[in-house]
Every structure is written in C-alpha cells, then in structure tokens.
Structure 1
Amino acid sequence: MECVFGLVGDGFALIAADSSAVNSILVHKSNEDKIMVLDSHKLLGASGEAGDRAQFTEYIQKNVHLYQFRNGIPLTTAAAANFTRGELATALRKFCFGQSPYFVNILLAGYDKEVGPSLYYIDYIATLHKLDKGAFGYGSYFSLSMMDRHYRNGMSLEQAIDLVDKCIIEIRSRLVVAPPNFVIKIVDQNGAREYAWRESIPSV
C-alpha cells in the first residue's frame, strides 16, 4: 500500500512518501524514509520491493557522487534521471541472463540554476517522463485525482503543502489499508532537505 507523490511549484519541487515498511500483513516499522537526498539539489523518492529499493537507490546515489568526484561538477537533474533510467533498462534486459530486474518506481526531483525545478517519473520498466506532478503506489489513485483537481502551475510552497495535506487526508480516508505516516521533502535553490512529517500514530 505504498504511496509516493510529488509536484513542481514556483521555484521548488517536493516529494511526499509514506513511511511504512511492510511485508504481507505485517508492519515492520512506520518511520522508513523512502525519499533519498541524492546530492545537494536532488531528491529520489522510491517505491517497490524493500530490498530492491534500498539497493538500487544507494547504487544511484553513490554513482552520482562518483561522477561529481571524478569530473568536479554535479550531474544535472535530467542527466541523473537518464542515468537512473538507463540502469533500470540494463537490469531489465539482463533478466533473460539470470539477473533479476529492480522492481522500483522512482520520482526524481531536482533544482538546476539554468532550468529551475523539475520532476521526473521513472517506473520499473524504465519509462521516463518529465512531469509537473506524479505519483506511484495504491495512493496514486487518490493523490493524482486530488492533484488533477487542485494543482496549478506556479503554486507557492504554502499552497503546495496544503495540496499535499489534502492528498494525505484523502489517502487515509479512502484507502482500505492506509499508511499512517508520511514524510515530505523539498528541493529549491537552497538545496534538498526534509520539510515535515505527517504522523497519525507514533513511529515504531
């Protein structure tokens, strides 16, 4: 019942994700951070199999850092999205040779001086799209409908957070087994950082 969604506003992009680590009917923890700070100006929100999610996102993060270390400049958000998409595609096409693909869906948000904020949708079969708003997981049925109704270009941070809260309320009230806790992170010209948690039960 994972939920990851994000949007682009006026000078920033944000990603929100549930924080439940579950297996079948068991909840192992409710404070799992599924949004990785990729570098100083990029966020990577992921949903999917827990092992694949952790392994693949760390692999992408270390390669982004390696590129910056070798070349002295960071990857742009578009370049990081295309690199991520390429690694998913490579793993997918090695399936017939015995390697398992990564069952990971990704929203990658970033801020570049020349481009501004951007958001990229990358799914487990290596589809890549640049979007103003996007979502993965069962919560996407409700968060996408709320964003279709209330999202508009150039939203302020306060308006965007209000929309995120509306999405969370809708997910909690409409989803049969709804995750109780969510984390919100933003990226803008000042960098990528945690913004807030929305918790309805104590973290375990």
Structure 2
Amino acid sequence: MSLQTTLLPALFSVKRNVIAAEKKTSSILIDDSVIDRVAVICPNIGIVYSGMGPDFRVLVTKARKSAQAYWKIYGTYPPTRVLTQEIATVMQQATQSGGVRPYGVSLLVAGWDSHRGPTLYQVDPSGSFWAWKASAIGKNMVNAKTFLEKRYNDDISLEDAIHTALLTLKEGFEGQMTEKTIEIGVITVPTPEELEAESPDGITGRVKPTFRKLTEEEVRDYLSL
C-alpha cells in the first residue's frame, strides 16, 4: 500500500494549542485551494493527518457526525478525549473486519474542553492513541520530535508556539515555505469570564473556544517574521 506522507508537527502548550501542516501537491497544475490538511471537527476540536487523503475525508465525516450526535444529547460539544476515542474505535474496527483494509492515516487531534483543558492526541492506523504535550507525524517525524523536545516548555505563548511549529516544519521541508504550502490551526482558550457567561437559552458553560485555521495572510505574516 502506497501512502502519501508529510510532516505534520503539532505544538501543544498549557495555555494554547497550535497545529501546523505541510500542504504540497505533486503537480503545479493541481488547484491546491481545495486541499485541506487541517480540518475543523467542531468549534473546539481540530485535526490533521499524514497518509491517504480519501481515508482522512471519511474519518472527518464520521468525527463530525459523532460531535453533532454528542451535542444533540448533551447540549455541548464532546471533550477531546471522547471524540478521539470514537475516531480510534472506528480505525481499530477496520483492522479486524473482513473485506476491508485498515485506514491508511495517522492523525493528530487537538482540542480544548472544560474537563482537561487543552489536549493533543495522536491516533495510529491500528486504533491506538496517546496524549502528547507536543508531537509530529509523517516523514522526518523522529527529527521533528527531537527538535520539539529541545524547544518545548509549558509557559510558551501562542506566538512562540506558532513560530516553533513553523521551525519544526522547516527542519524537513523541501522547497520554499509559503502561505500556499503551509496550514496552521490554533485554539484560543476562553477566559473564566467567558466560561461563566450564559447563552441566550440560559445554559451556562456553553461558550467554547474556537478552533480556526489561520488565513493565508496571517500565515504569510508569521513566515515573514
């Protein structure tokens, strides 16, 4: 089985979550605007992958359905660990089902919830998953993890986290890093005041941090620094 792999470092800190991904195409004729390495699952959880794009698309769809089902039952989006476990279960089931092959992707799932705060999980094709403070998957991941071990600290700011993620990507990057070949997702942790705020229907704790992908203009600004 041939897998398309890429380095996907994800930098985690106590206060912030940052995930960065390399987005490169095999031909200049391909419209890369329709290719997404970083996907939003729900407002507080994002995901990146290394491996086969079609398999990732299927898992993203299943994860979004699971997040909406959780919302429908509990009125809030799922904790990161719960959603990660749902994804890992789907991937594990494929390893022991007749007539199907394992999913050809490794995943990094980053999110925030009121129970555990900011968290980062890695999911392998086997369905195994682990929590990390900082991690990388894909090509050159050993060197990338070594680089993160030297640079990581618990008090890193969001700006420094983004720069560290970009430096980690640069370690094994082929060609020029531009806003067209890099995707960055960030999670901003809400303040205590935001968490205590009430939604229009009177339910507290409904305010969640927003996972979002940085625009090309924002990525360009970080690359120019």
For the criterion TM > 0.5, the same-fold answer is yes
Q: CA deviation at 1:122?
A: 0.5
Shift of 1:115: 1.8
Partner residue, 1:20: 24
Are residues 48 and 26 of structure 1, via their aligned partners in 2, closer, same or farther at CA, if it must alter by over 3 Å?
farther
The 1:69/1:27 distance shift into structure 2, 3 A limit, reads farther
Look up the SS of the partner of 2:101 in the other structure. Answer: coil
User: Is the contact made by 1:14 and 1:184 (CA closer than 8 Å) also made in structure 2?
Assistant: yes
Greater gyration radius = 2
Displacement after TM superposition at 1:92 (Å): 1.3
- 2:211 maps to 192
User: Is the Cα–Cα contact under 8 Å of residues 88 and 123 in structure 2 kept in the other structure?
Assistant: yes
Q: Percent identical across equivalent pairs? A: 20
Q: State the shift of 1:73 in Å.
A: 2.6
For residue 111 of structure 1, what is the aligned residue in structure 2? 112
1:28-61 deviations in Å (ceiling 9; x for gaps): 4444221111101001111211211112222212
Once the two structures are TM-superposed, the CA of residue 135 in structure 1 deviates from its matched residue by 1.1
Structure 1 residues 139-196: Cα deviation after superposition (integer angstroms, max 9, x where no partner): 4233222212111122111211121121122222xx5x78861111011323101135
Q: Match for 1:160: what amino acid?
A: A
Quick check: 1:51 aligned with 2:54? Answer: yes
SS state at 1:105 partner: strand
Aligned partner of 1:148: which letter? E
Q: Does 1:137 align with 2:138?
A: yes
Contact 1:8 1:132 survives alignment (8 Å): yes
Unaligned runs of 5+ in 1: 200-204
Cα shift readout 1:40-90 (whole Å, capped 9, x = no counterpart): 100111121121111222221222212212432321111011111111101
- Equivalent residue for 1:182? 182
Give distance in 2, aligned partners of 1:115 and 1:56: 24
Per-residue CA deviation, residues 102-148 of structure 1 (Å, 9 max, x unaligned), is 11111000111232100001011111100001111104233222212
Verify the 8 A CA contact 2:80 2:112 in the aligned structure 1: yes
2:7 aligned to 3, 6, 21, which one?
3
Which amino acid counterpart does residue 155 of structure 1 have in structure 2?
I
* Structure 1 vs Structure 2 CA RMSD: 2.3
Paired with 2:29 and 2:17, the residues of 1 have a C-alpha distance of 30
Whether the aligned pair in 1 keeps the contact of 2:19 and 2:165 (CA below 8 Å) is: no
Q: Where does structure 2 lack aligned partners over 5 or more consecutive residues?
A: 190-208, 221-225
User: Is structure 2 residue 44 aligned with structure 1 residue 41?
Assistant: yes
Change (3 A) 1:81 1:178: farther
Paired residue for 2:124? 123
Deviation for aligned residue 1:100: 2.0
Supply the AA of the counterpart residue of 1:195. Answer: L
SS of the residue corresponding to residue 95 of structure 2 reads: helix
SS where residue 114 of structure 1 aligns?
coil
Distance verdict in 2 for CA 1:179–1:55, change over 3 Å:
farther
Letter of the aligned partner of 2:23 in structure 1? S
- The number of equivalent residue pairs is 192
